[in-house]
Each structure stands twice: as C-alpha cells, then as structure tokens.
Structure 1
C-alpha cells in the first residue's frame, strides 16, 4: 500500500516537473485582464462588490486551471502544436465552464452573475489562451533576422520562451530554396519547420503556379522563377537548392539543374531514394547519378507481375552481378517459395545474400551456389537439388573491349553457357526460362553483342521445339552498373581528373538498374513463348553531357574532359531499340515484342558446331571469324561508324 502511494507521489512530482510554469503565469495574466474587463469595467444588472468580483474570479479560474492541469495542457510542446492540441484546450475549457456553472448552481454564493457573463468570461479567456499559443508557434516557425517582421517575431519568441525550452539554432542552419510549392514541397517545409533538430531551414519556394506566386505558405514566400534571381537568393542567404517536384518535366529539370549548378549552388532532391530500401519514405538526398537521366523513372512492375513469381522456386544465374542482384531484390519483395542465387564470383553473391538476410531474415528461403554456367556437372547438380520452376539467366561476360580481346572466352561463357542452361531447363522440366539480353545485340559491332545475339537465337529456337516456355528481354546501358561509365567517371573525378570519354559524339540509351530488373520480370510474366522483348527507353543521352553533369554534381571545378578514341568494337551511336512500325505492342506501352523469326533447331546446331570448332582451335581471330558467320548481322564497327560520320 505504501509502495503504491510512493509511486503515485513520484509520478505526480515527475508530471509537475514537465509543466511550463511560465505558460501558467501567462494564462493567469490573460484571465486577470478578462476578469477586470468583464466583472469590473463592464456594467450589468449585477452590482458586484470587490469581494464579489474576487469570489467569481477565483471560482472561475480554479475550474479552468484545474481542468487544464487534468488535460495536461501545460505538458504539451506548443511550438509543434497541431490542431489536436488546440482542440484539447477547447475541450478542457468547455468542461471547466460546465463545472463552474454546476458549482454555482449547487452552492450559490452571495454574489451571482448571469449565465451569459459566465460564458463570456470563459470564452474570452479561452480566446486569449489560444492567441498566445498561436503567436508563439508562428514566431517560432517564421521568425528570422532578415526583415523587420522577422525581428519582431524573434522578439516575441524570446518573450514567450517559457512556453517551451528549446534551442534557437536558426543562425546555424543551412538555408534552402525549395523548387515546388506543391504537396511534396510544402510537406517537406513543414517537416523542417517542426523539427528543431533539422540542419535546414526553408527561405522560399520557387514555383510557376500563378495562384501561389506572391503569396506565403507557412510564412514562407513563394517566388516565380523570374523573381528567384541570384541577387535575391544571395540577399536571403540561400545556400542550397532542393527539388521537390517528383513529376517535373525532364527538360525543365535539366535546365534548372544546370542553371543553379552553374551558379555555384549545391543541388539536392527531396524524393524517394534511388536505391532499394524498405522504408519507402521520401527524404532529402544528394542529386544522384540516376537523376542525371533527367526523365521520370519508369515503373514497370505491377501486381500481376508480382503474382507470377509468388510462391515459385526461382534460380537466378549471375545473381551477384549488378542486374542479377537487383533482380534478387525485386523478387524478394514478391515472396518466392525459394530463391537460388548462382554466381561464379562469391563476393557478389555473398553481398546480396547478407543484404536480403538483413531485410527479410527468416521470411525468405535463400540459397547460394557458387558455379559457372559453363560447368555442366555443377549446373546439373543445382537443377537436381532444387528443381527450379523459373530460371533467369543473367550470367554473362558484358565488358565490350575486354571481350574483343577474349573472343573464345566470350563465346564459351555467353553462348555455350546459355546453351547448357537451356538444355538443363528441358531436362528438368522448368516452367519458364528468361534470358537477360542487351541492345548491343541489335546489329552488333562487337564480340559481346554478337554472342548475346547468338544467345537470343538459341532461346527463340528452343521455344519452337522445347517443352519449356522461353523469352528474352533486351535493354540498353544500365546506369551505375559495374561495367558502366559511371564508376569510372566517379573515380576519375575523385582523383582530380581528367575525365576520359572515347568520343564526344557518342550517344547511348540509358536506364537505371531497378528499371532494367523490373523490365525483365514484367516481360517474363507476360511471355507466352519465344518472345524477344524490348523497352522504349526514350531519348538517348550524350556521354559528354553525362560527364559534364557528373563533374557539376561533384562540386569540383577545373576538371578536364579528354577524348581517347573509340575502343575496339565500339559504335558512335547505339541502334534505336524501339521502331514501333517494326514491333508488336504489348499491354504495357513501354514494352514491345521484336518481330523476329526463330531459326530451326538444325540451323542453330550448325552454328554452334562452327563456333565449337573455332573455339577448339584456341585462336581468337578464328573464333571471331566464326562468330561473323554464325551471326549474319555482326558487322565491323569501322564500317558502321564511317557510314555514320559520312
């Protein structure tokens, strides 16, 4: 009994320690002013003596303050007070009023006042209490030393500092301009204003909406793009620019990015992260390399796609690579029955294994197999052990210049490795084989592209005579993958330059790693048999522009860009993947099907025999010649580039 009493007393003392007594004092001052006005100066039918005024005042203030303590009104942090805080204050004062009325009716004092005057006293007191809280919150959110109004608000903030005990870090915060006064931009500004620990403070919005320009949101002015001059931004001490318009037009976004970056501002984005996370929340991040595409990210995956892979046993070859690991991330969200990640490079497979274990724990059945797709015995052991229902073949040598000098290895790994997996799919009655291809297989000018084209022909042919459902998916360069120019540019910039590009005229089609993985998975889910899917990747990007933007993004000046000359097998311009007049449409407007006739099994066997004999000679030149014979569209890069230049 005594222990309970002790705990209750300690709890009461602890609650009292959190009360803002300065705010209690301000409320009492407001009530005193109201009481003097309505009981003293305001006349009425009651003739109250000073003693009567005092009794009514004490009775009313006691009811109001007791209820405010009961309702924990003085335990709230009013600088962050939302509508719920004000509703609570209104409710506690309403209850206090009726208690006041009931007490006076039950124990009528000598000096009574009318119901209307009681209501007036409580209502006017409530209005005063709400006013000082709103003034404080407004002063906290909108006070700054740049304007006369702001200085007054800061003075009010100092005056009412007893309402909350917080630190004024305004002068230490990074001042930003927010591009976009829409829902996303305003919620971001509110988040910063309501977080005393934030390192940022918004100074202005920049927007094109005429209904908003010239007005204020949360006390923050909204400027048009013409009004947001460099001198005005400097006057308001803006240090960074934040994009908060997720669906901004690509050309517009690029123009604004270059404008502010050239002016020396650090540019950031308030949006979802460009890499996979479970949180799914927007946050402030640096303008990333994926944003350099300057287009809206393609969201390809759908609920129908997810259902296709749910509760399936899925084998991903090359699962530790850039594309393969992203395929694993995307598939993990679709709740497969089992996922087997196969790769010859153990570090990549280990990394994705640990990442998925951290995210999903025991919720995902994950197996790692270290093997090469060229090792028939090892691959058969995997198929025998797991009996996969879906096989996604992402294993391949993809580096163009290296494969030019290692033609036999490219053929052995890409062509015959794919052939091994196809044969095992037939032997172990796999439901669906999905091949990851590339735009370099379109009229190839290099060994890597030619081997991938040969793989496409193998897969399409197998679809005409096998029992497995086959499909292949072709997409362009992947931004940020291990073999892309992005990591190279980053290293060169970090070393102070120069940044090297092979030719300033080079143009490429780009997509992000998540986009590529989503395309592979959705096209696989819609496949019937033997299709070669391609993606509408939009406008191509000049590699020179990409390099220049990355240099701007780094904030390092004086880095030179130099040309080194085209590498072996390299084209100036990639082939346009999507020529709508030559392709069949699908239910997704971004995915098309190549109108390509599958070769008979006998023709494929002849081509494979030719390649096998050439590889057996150990001569890379003979192997390349055989590849030219096997892939009729394989042309010399010099021939193609000369025709483009002419």
Structure 2
C-alpha cells in the first residue's frame, strides 16, 4: 500500500468517526433535554471539528505515525490534536453564531477521543495479536533493567522477525525490585535467576548490561549456566550507535568474555602522532596476529602498509579486506616472500623504507616444533635475524618483535627460539640507531593452532574434549588485545626493551574447556573431558618475566617493561653459524646451552653492577 492510499483511508476513517461522534453527542444532549441546537450550529460544529482535526493531525504528524508501534510519544501527539481541534471548533462557533455550546461540544469531544483513540489502539492490538499467532516465541529473561534492557525489550516486543518474548527482568538494583518496567516484573537480583527460570518457564536468558566488566559477566554467566538455559548477550552500545549491529542482534557468550580481565586501552593520541602518515611494514601479515595488527594500524591513517607473508592466500585475503575498508586512502603493498631469504628481506626494506617494522612471522605450534626443531630455528631465529639486520642496515626507526611468554625459562624448542630471537635483537640494539624492542604475551584466543578451535571441533564431534592436565594454567588474551599491545609498544619504544602485558590471573585450561562446553549448549556429562598427560616441551604454567630481567615498572596502564641485559655475542653467533651442521638432538642441546650461557653471563653482570649488601649498608649509614 502506498503512502497516498494509506493516508486516504485514515482521513476517511477519521472523518467518519468524527461525524459519528457529532451524531452521538447530538442524540445525548437532545435526550437529556439540556438545550435546543439549530441546524446551523450542528453544521458549523461538524465542519469545524472535521477541518480542525485534519489540520492539527497533519501539523503534529499523526498521519505519518505507524500505530502498530504506538508509544507515549504517539499518544501525546494524538491528544494535542484532540485538544486543538476542540478549541478550534469552539472558536468557529463563537465567530459564526456568537455562542459557546460548551456541553454539546464537550460531549462530542469525548466521543471524538473515544472513537479515534480506540481505532488507533485496535491497530496496535491487532498487530500484537497477529505477531503472537505467527510463531511460537521463546520466553526470555532479561538481565539488566536499565536503559539498554528497556530498549531491548521495546525492540523485541515490536519486532515481528525475532521470535523472542521477554517476560521478566533481573537487576541487582534493589530499588527496582517488585516494580514493573515495560509491563514486565523486576523479580530480583542475580540470586533469583534460577528461581525465575523454573517458575516462569524461561527458555532463553539475555544479558543486557553493555557496561558489564568481565568479572561481572563471569559471575552472571555462572548463575545462568546452572539453569541449563541458553544464554546470549546484546551487542555493545558503540556497535549499535555505529550501525554495525542491530539492537536485537544477540550473540552467544564467547570465551574471551569470561577472561576476567578488562581489555587494554590504547593511548590513541600518541599512536596517532606515531603512525599517521607513516609507512609500516608487517611480516606475517596474513596470520591471525599480523592481520589484526594491520587492521588496528589502519585506524590511525598511515600512508602505506607493506604486507609481507609467505602464504599467498592469506596475504590476498587481508589485502582485499583492507582495500574494501579503506579504499585508496592507504597505499597497500603485498609482498610474497620468505623471511629466511635474507636478500629478499633487504630488498623489500630498502625499496619501501618503512618507518616501523612489526615482525609477526613465526612458527609457534609447540608440539610441531618439538618434531621439527631445525625449522623452528630457521624461521624464528634466522628469519628474525634477516629482518632485523635489514632494519639496521637501512636505518629503520623501530623494529618490534612479537614474542611469547614461552620465551621465559623456555621448556620447549618454540619458546627457546623466541627467547634466542629476543636476545639477538637486544644485542643488535646495543650498536644500532634502530630501536629494537620485543613484545611478550600469552596464548591468543582464536588464533590459528590455539586451543579454542581444537576444543570447538572436539565438541562438534561429540567429545571428548582433551586436556593435558587438570592443574595446567595459561595466560590468555584476545587477538585485538595482543595487536593493541604490539602497536602501543611500538609507540613507547626507546630501544632494547621487553614489553609485557599485565594479563591478570592465569586461566586453568580445564576451566576454559568447561566454559566452552557450556557455551556450546552442553554439559560435561554430555561432552566429557579427558586428561591426556603433559606433552613434550610443555610446562605446567607460564611466566612473563624471568629472574635475570629488570622489571617491573608499569610505563602504561597494564603494560610492564623489562630491560634487556647484555650477554655474550660470541655465544649467539656461534650457534647461528654451526646449527645447520648439527643433528636435531645436538642442535636442541646447543640451543638451550646458548640461552643458559647467556643468562648466566647476564646474571653475573647484574651482580657486578649491584653493590654488596654490607657496602650498601655502610653507604646508608654514612649518608645518615
């Protein structure tokens, strides 16, 4: 139906109802014998009420409103139309017949309000009834009776596409308990969730608290899981305001929502100065971390990004994504190259002369690197050396190495190669104008080869979910968090530093597995967890800084720094020159020996720098 057709029908209906109101009003006053009205008065009353109603209905946009979604604002507009048309009719009667038949007009006005108001409400009731008949709706419990929760309820009540019927609120604000909001009762706090689910036959729980912290969500989710009912979250407010998500576009709770740590916030002003108009090179740009670094950097309007990667498909994918998002505003240069090719790395760095290099290319899978240790060395050490030397030779301002918490007191080849790479660039930074820094963080949720995709696949297959040990813990962070830390470290870099994120409390792997099972809609009885034992090269827990590293001032919220200590360059160079001639077992031993020798020398130098305890005491006494 077109707008003109709809308008014609509504105007005709309102005109008919007004004439009926005049007729009923006339009959009422005649039967009551209140007074006698002439034909002229009746004609002027009817005509003025008709004209006045249509004029003011247009003025207050009454005819443009969709009455299937009637609210307070729409009713207020209609009431203004009624009042103004009544006053207009009285004015016309006074002008033409010099009298005010107030009783008659007031009774007509009451019928006017009753008939037209009823027609609008009938439209709303018909619409609501039709929606209920369309499909059976899931009964939903809304957690959060604030502005976001009420907005969500209004949207769910009015939407015919979403088959969810909100039936009650849960909110910890005691002043709202036992009240009604949007015609829904506020039952109580989170301790009433399980009772509400049973008593009200709840089929879905929706968390509508956009400002929730991870700790708050973790506590709420525990209560929700205990009910066995599917739990979802409404989008964040900034996503709704930006238009990327609809208000009723609910999503499942994700593992990263339950980490119990607030995400890191960037120093956007400093990053804007540091990255705007610059040329940035990212190795491993097609990987999970490298690609996210590219996305985050693009927000700060660099002049160009050089996308270096070995896999053509992954580089092509991130290239297309960034082109679609940023068009011609940022120059993008894809480079298919292997970081083990020293000459090629030098050519790329020399050609594009980037202001910064983020080195994310690496082999990171612990068990696989135990099987192929030489490949780990070639990629993580030799490859890093090639890119770092190219940065030094061409006078690049900053080189950022993406490292790992497994580099601390390494117990596996992957961690050892990352530790060696850190030692290597710190040694190079001692005699270079390039600022060499490393960024160290824990496991990244959702990255390739991480535990989450493995657990999800096992759950899809019906289990069991395999965990190595019930006591094993790891630090976890999200891909965006890891990438933010990396680019923030680049802005804070002064040279020869190791940046470490305050990652909160370590998470038990078994707890993560249980949460993922519950998030998938199962219980641990349906999808069991089995323990397989610790694999070669794995540690029971991870560390972020070792005893040889100076730490721990916090130079930025949630970012700590450890300054590198000098070791013996001969030890590093000797291993690099000889590793290819060794067997895998010899190479493994030599790798760990080189790290141990470096740390011993660092520890010795640290002790030499510190005054003896008695000397320090005597200095204090003399100064006293």
TM-score in terms of structure 1 length: 0.82
Give how far 1:522 is off.
Answer: 1.2
Indicate the residue corresponding to 2:54 in structure 1: 66
Q: Report the CA distance between 1:270 and its aligned residue.
A: 1.0
* Equivalent residue runs for 1:534-549 within 5 Å: 534-549=500-515
CA contact (8 A) 2:502 2:560 kept: yes
Distance in 2 of aligned mates of 1:536 and 1:251? 16
Aligned residue for 1:186, secondary structure, equals helix
SS at match of 1:341: strand
Distance verdict in 2 for CA 1:21–1:194, change over 3 Å: farther
Out of 523, 529, 537, the position equivalent to 1:561 is 529
The structural deviation recorded for 1:475 is 0.8
Corresponding residue for residue 272 of structure 2: 306
Query: Structure 1 residue 432: deviation in Å?
Result: 1.3
Whole-angstrom distance in 1 between the partners of 2:174 and 2:66: 36
SS at match of 1:631: helix
* 2:99 equivalent in structure 1: 112
Matches within 5 A, 1:151-170: 157-158=125-126, 167-169=131-133
SS in 1 for 2:220: helix
Aligned-residue offset at 1:165: 10
Q: Counterpart in 2 of 1:76?
A: 65
**For residues 296-445 of structure 1, what are the structure 2 equivalents within 5 Å?**
296-300=262-266, 302-445=268-411
Residues 90 and 126 in structure 1, CA contact (< 8 A), matched pair in contact too: no
**How much does 1:585 deviate?**
3.0
Deviates more, 1:542-551 or 1:123-132: 123-132
Contact 1:18 1:75 in 2 (8 A): no
Counterparts of 2:36 and 2:598, CA distance in 1: 106
**Equivalent residue in structure 2 for 1:89, among 74, 78, 94:** 78
Question: Is the 1:610–1:626 contact (alpha carbons within 8 Å) kept by the matching residues of 2?
Answer: no
2:579–2:587 contact (8 Å) kept in structure 1: yes
Compared CA separation, residues 54 and 118, structure 1 to 2 (3 A): closer
Specify the alignment match of 1:490 in structure 2: 456
Q: 1:609 aligns with which of 553, 573, 581?
A: 573
Task: Write the distance in 1 (CA, Å) between the matches of 2:386 and 2:41.
Answer: 99
Query: 2: CA distance between counterparts of 1:39 and 1:611?
Result: 113
Q: Distance in 2 between matches of 1:559 and 1:295?
A: 27
Between 1:255-264 and 1:617-626, the stretch displaced more is 255-264
**Where do 5+ consecutive residues of structure 1 fail to align?**
1-9, 141-156, 636-646
Q: Choose which of 152, 155, 158 in structure 2 pairs with 1:191.
A: 155
- Displacement of 1:302: 2.6
Considering only aligned residues, what root-mean-square deviation do their CA atoms show, in Å?
Answer: 3.5
Q: Please list the CA deviations of residues 139-191 of structure 1 after superposition, one character each: whole Å capped at 9, or x if unmatched.
A: x5xxxxxxxxxxxxxxxx24xx6xx9964447522221111112222222122
Aligned with residue 587 of structure 2, among 623, 626, 629 = 623
Question: Do the aligned partners of residues 232 and 528 (structure 1) sit closer, same or farther apart at CA in structure 2, a change above 3 Å counting?
Answer: closer
Structure 1 equivalent of residue 614 of structure 2: none
- Tell me: CA distance 1:11–1:300, structure 2 relative to 1, closer, same or farther (3 Å): closer
Aligned counterparts of 1:522 and 1:31: Cα–Cα separation in 2: 74
- Of the structure 1 ranges 534-543 and 71-80, higher mean CA displacement relative to structure 2 is found in 71-80
SS in structure 1 at match of 2:409: coil
- C-alpha distance in 2 between matches for 1:192 and 1:250: 26
Equivalent in the alignment of 1:527: 493
Match of 1:4 in 2: none
Distance 2:221 2:408 in 1: 34
Which of 169, 177, 181 is 1:205 aligned to?
169
- Tell me the CA shift for residue 234 of structure 1: 4.0
**Partner in structure 2 of residue 147 of structure 1:** none
> For residues 249 and 469 of structure 1, do their structure 2 counterparts lie closer, same or farther at Cα, with a shift above 3 Å needed?
closer
Aligned mates of 1:66, 1:424 — CA distance in 2: 78
Moved more, 422-431 or 298-307: 298-307
2-structure distance, mates of 1:442, 1:468: 24
Contact 2:208 2:233 in 1 (8 A): yes
Show the counterpart of 1:511. Answer: 477
Aligned mates of 1:245, 1:521 — CA distance in 2? 30
1:222 is aligned to 186
Q: From the superposition, tell whether residues 358 and 279 of structure 1 become closer, same or farther in structure 2 (CA, over 3 Å).
A: farther
> For 1:549-590, what per-residue CA distance to the aligned partner results, in whole angstroms no more than 9, with x for missing partners?
1111222452221111111110001125599x9634345220
Would you say how many aligned residue pairs link Structure 1 and Structure 2?
593
Structure 1 position 103, deviation (Å) = 3.9
Q: Distance in 2 between matches of 1:471 and 1:133?
A: 72
Residue 182 (structure 1) aligns with: 146
Any idea what SS the aligned residue of 1:597 has? Answer: coil
Q: Provide the C-alpha distance between the structure 2 equivalents of 1:276 and 1:184, rounded to a whole number of angstroms.
A: 11
Secondary structure (helix, strand or coil) at the match of 1:425 reads: helix
Q: How far apart are the structure 2 equivalents of 1:29 and 1:202?
A: 39
Check the 8 A contact 1:435/1:471 in 2, yes or no.
yes
Structure 1 position 275, deviation (Å): 11
Query: What is the CA-CA distance between 1:617 and the residue it aligns to?
Result: 1.1
Change (3 A) 1:119 1:380: farther
Displacement of 1:544 in angstroms is 0.5
Q: In 2 relative to 1, CA 433–214 (structure 1 residues): closer, same or farther, beyond 3 Å?
A: same
